[in-house]
Amino acid sequence: MRLRRFPEAIEGFAFLDSPSDAVSKVVGRAVPAGPFKDALSGTWLGHALHPLLTDLPIGFWTSAWMLDIVGGKRSAPAAQKLVALGIVTAIPTAASGASDWADTAGGEKRVGLVHGAANSVALAAFVASYLHRRRGNRAKGIAWGWLGAAAATAGGHLGGHLIEALGVGVDNTVFEAGPQDWLDVGATTEAVEGSPHLVDAGGVPVLVVRDGLRLVAVADRCTHRGGPLHEGPVEGGCVTCPWHGSVFRLEDGEVERGPAALPQPKYEARERDGRIEVRRFALAQG
Ligand code: FES
């Protein structure tokens, strides 16, 4: 049996939509758009935070599990400390994951809900494991640890599916090459001061905005979850994504406000004989 069939089946479970919506509302209220959500998203880091944090509880719990297997009784205090460290680090990990999950939809949201549920079971099992170890009941502590490890493994598998198969947390522009040479994308009269203008740059959607005598341009598909930036407002040299409110500078594509962690690819734009021309900035520099 191929492992991917399990998460693929979950993608089609429409009955998960109702609990997903209910939990999503709670998460949205607990983590509204703003500095706290940006902190959990990794906007300050320039990288999604959740995938980095997951290494901590997984690493601590896996290490405890290994000590239980090969370390013998002498390693019981160390294993107990590792279980505790896993519990402590699981809390910010869960918070960042829940915040990211609230911005997903459809099959991603269903898989994400089960991913979170599996990891919640893992956390509860390791809390029980820790309590038993503290009371001196090592055998029960180890048994709960095994249950926690199994749940965390299932949760980890679903987390991998979310990233690798569904692209959650992946830069939505990563496969957009954009034209290396100047490309005619329309008449200059179509670019009106301060108004977002969508152009097709060889199959890549690009947002062009007139800024006085010059034109500025960035990739139109939002790096966060692919929102259409040309449908968002342009103000103060920035564009706001209509989906989750990330704000990007038009000058260089940098993130002014999250939840996006990655900047928009920058394009160069110019006017030639009444026509707009664009080319990919980074490739042009090469
Ligand atoms: S798609 Fe989420 S902020 Fe743009």
Q: Is 244 in the pocket of ligand 1 (CB under 6 A)?
A: yes
| Nearest atom of ligand 1 to the alpha carbon of 229 | 4
pLDDT at 284 over 90: no
Q: Could you tell me if 44 and 136 lie in one domain?
A: yes
- Mean pLDDT (the chain) is 94
Q: Could you tell me if 50 and 101 lie in one domain?
A: yes
| Domain-ending residue, one of 164, 199, 217 | 164
Whole-angstrom distance, CA of residue 251 vs CA of residue 267: 9
Q: Could you tell me if 137 and 226 lie in one domain?
A: no
Q: Could you tell me if 19 and 138 lie in one domain?
A: yes
For ligand 1, mutation pick of 172, 246, 262 (most atoms within 8 Å of CB): 246
- Dump pLDDT digits (tens) for 133-177: 999 999 999 999 999 999 999 999 999 999 999 999 899 999 998
In percent, the amount of the chain with pLDDT more than 70 equals 98
Whole-angstrom distance, CA of residue 198 vs CA of residue 275: 14
pLDDT at 192: 84
Which one is predicted more confidently, 53 or 194? 53
CA distances in angstroms from 62 to 75, 125, 152, listed in the order given: 14, 14, 10
pLDDT at 4: 82
Q: Is 241 in the pocket of ligand 1 (CB under 6 A)?
A: yes
Q: Could you tell me if 156 and 198 lie in one domain?
A: no
Residue 172 inside a domain? The answer is: no
Place of tokens 């009784």: 73
Q: Could you tell me if 127 and 205 lie in one domain?
A: no
| Nearest atom of ligand 1 to the alpha carbon of 258 | 3
Q: Is 104 in the pocket of ligand 1 (CB under 6 A)?
A: no
Find the 221 Cα to ligand 1 centroid distance in Å. 9
pLDDT at 105: 92
Q: Is 221 in the pocket of ligand 1 (CB under 6 A)?
A: no
Q: Could you tell me if 129 and 232 lie in one domain?
A: no
Find the 130 Cα to ligand 1 centroid distance in Å. 39
| Nearest atom of ligand 1 to the alpha carbon of 222 | 4
Asked whether the beta carbons of 203 and 221 are under 8 A apart, the reply is no
Angle at which helices 138-164 and 50-70 pack, to 10 degrees? 150
Residue 170 inside a domain? The answer is: no
Q: Is 280 in the pocket of ligand 1 (CB under 6 A)?
A: no
Q: Could you tell me if 199 and 267 lie in one domain?
A: yes
Q: Is 68 in the pocket of ligand 1 (CB under 6 A)?
A: no
Q: Could you tell me if 159 and 195 lie in one domain?
A: no
- Dump pLDDT digits (tens) for 62-102: 999 999 999 889 999 999 999 999 999 999 999 999 999 99
Q: Could you tell me if 144 and 200 lie in one domain?
A: no
| Nearest atom of ligand 1 to the alpha carbon of 259 | 3
- The domain of 236 spans 183-285
Q: Could you tell me if 10 and 150 lie in one domain?
A: yes
pLDDT at 202: 92
Residue 118 inside a domain? The answer is: yes
Q: Which residues pair with 186 in a beta bridge?
A: 276
| Nearest atom of ligand 1 to the alpha carbon of 225 | 1
Q: Is 243 in the pocket of ligand 1 (CB under 6 A)?
A: yes
pLDDT at 1 over 80: no
What's the number of domains the chain is made of? 2
pLDDT at 216 over 60: yes
Q: Could you tell me if 160 and 187 lie in one domain?
A: no
Residue 171 inside a domain? The answer is: no
Residue 174 inside a domain? The answer is: no
